Amino acid sequence: MKKVKNIIVGFGKGGKTLAKFLAQKGEEVLVIERSKQMYGGTCINIACLPSKRLVIEAANGVDFVDAVKGKDEMTAFLRNKNYHMLADEPTVKVLDGQAAFTGNHQIAVTQADGTTEEFTGERIFINTGASPIILPLPGLRDSQFLLNSTSAMDQDELPTKLTIIGAGYIGLEFAAMFAQYGSQVTVVDHKKSFIPREDDDISALVKKDLEDLGVKFILGAELKKVTDREDGAVLSYVQDSQVGEVFGNKILAATGRQPNTADLGLAKTEIKVNDRGAIMVDQHLQTSVDNVWAIGDVKGGPQFTYISLDDFRIIKSQLFGDGGYTLESRNIVPTSVFINPPLSRVGLTEKQAQDQGIDYRQFKLPVAAIPKARVAKNTRGLFKAIVDPANQQILGATLYGIESYELINLVALAMKAKLPYTILRDQIYTHPTMSEAFNDLFKG
């Protein structure tokens, strides 16, 4: 059994950033990745970047098949770049193989040819990510027309009719995207209310805009079964006591992602997982075993690449700093859903402020009032923000409109710096831009 200073299981965002950081300190690092097609992790290969490329190409009117080809070229480039970023470091070894624990600090790596190597790690970082959940619905898992988010982006022809199970954020991104490529999209969800965490005015606008793109919604549907036909699959459901059916040439499961822990051999360790299979960690991301940490999606909680990256900062703070940056320090996390137009949010919604009995002042601006939106010929949407009347700090913002995925980071910065909203209101912005909307949004 070989002894290694640092073992990173999985080539994810936080793990690869940590590997590079450790290498630059001259430390020995072993990065274990089960698939050569996943060097660089989920985000660059099968998630954020390929999906956003396809989203942008759909809005640009590019043909689906051409867009998929371009996306593949991009991911191949990034995969190679990521591989060399680590493999070219003299103290890093990237090992292809499936890793599983054989003890608290021991890991066996099984390679494609069946050979196994064992390692003991002084420090071990688990960064194995998450995989799509397939609901236990009769006929779904075995349907030959079943897609997940990965295979949906690898089709060699556009599905004419696409059924999407799940009106969560990934489901909606794919719905908007495929509708713009020309698919007839139906989204089915068991929840009655649409994106219930958002304020009602925002969710009503988003739903209408998606319907205008051609997306159909079947909400409050109890899913019954999937039956394959020659040319596609029929999804049967009950909605308001009525039996219904929807047909798709393909059926996309977008019902969440579960942490990749099942094959990790954790039963041979004292590393604890919760009832969802996520590795349990403390404020410093340490697992229940000393010198073993978990990073990114595998530890549960919000599943974003920038959370995995921020996990690296927590670990760096603990190992090389004063340990002051912890999970608790992470309190302002912006999010974006890349539909058309994008929906972005940070901090509290109006609904959350009301539920929590927090006093607030509200600001609203229709996107149609912003000159840049008119120039860009996309005037859909609404910007909202709430501020604390006592200290004028921003409590939260929901920005539904073009380029909101950029703007939300400005609001998050103001919140983190505890700036009064008047700074954003009175800032000089270039023109015509979407950011100058803050001059008007906060005018009140």
Ligand X SMILES: Cc1cc2nc3c(=O)[nH]c(=O)nc-3n(C[C@H](O)[C@H](O)[C@H](O)COP(=O)(O)OP(=O)(O)OC[C@H]3O[C@@H](n4cnc5c(N)ncnc54)[C@H](O)[C@@H]3O)c2cc1C
Among 35, 80, 111, 356, binds ligand X (CB under 6 A): 35
| Residue 304 binds ligand X (CB under 6 A) | yes
Given 121, 129, 159, 248, the residue binding ligand X (CB under 6 A): 129
Nearer to ligand X, 51 or 143 (CB): 51
Catalytic residue among 84, 105, 284, 431: 431
Residue 105 annotated among the catalytic residues of the structure: no
* Sheet with 242-248, side-by-side order of all strands: 221-228, 233-239, 242-248
How far is Cα 233 from Cα 242, in angstroms, rounded to an integer?
A: 20
Written as six digits, the tokens of 31 are: 């990065």
- Are 379 and 368 in contact by the 8 Å Cβ rule? The answer is yes
Q: Which stretch binds ligand X (CB under 6 A): 28-36, 283-291, 354-362, 416-424?
A: 28-36
3-class secondary-structure state, position 435? coil
> Between 139 and 178, how does the x/- string for binding to ligand X read (CB under 6 A)?
----------x--------------------x--------
Q: Is 383 exposed, middle or buried (0-12, 13-18, 19+ CB in 10 A)?
A: buried
Tell me which of 17, 41, 188, 318 binds ligand X, using CB under 6 A.
41
Interacting positions 3-22 with ligand X (CB under 6 A): 9-14
**Residues near 245 by Cβ (< 8 Å), separated by ≥ 6?**
234, 235, 236, 237
The distance of closest approach from Cβ of residue 11 to ligand X in the complex, given in angstroms and rounded to an integer, is 5
Question: Quick check: helix, strand or coil at residue 183?
Answer: coil
Pick the binder of ligand X from 4, 7, 31, 38 (CB under 6 A): 38
Return the residue of 167, 264, 281, 387 that touches ligand X, per CB under 6 A: 264
Under the binding rule (CB under 6 A), the answer on residue 404 touching ligand X is no
Residue of 127, 183, 269, 349 that binds ligand X (CB under 6 A): 127
**Sequential DSSP letters for 27-71:** --EEEEES-GGGTT-HHHHHSHHHHHHHHHHHHTT--HHHHHHHH
Three-class DSSP category at 400:
strand
Q: Does 94 bind ligand X (CB under 6 A)?
A: no
Q: Residue 315: is it exposed, middle or buried by C-beta count within 10 angstroms (0-12/13-18/19+)?
A: buried
Q: Which residues bind ligand X (CB under 6 A)?
A: 9-14, 32-35, 38, 41-43, 47-48, 51-52, 98-99, 127-129, 149, 170, 260, 263-264, 296-298, 303-306, 308
Known catalytic residues? 431
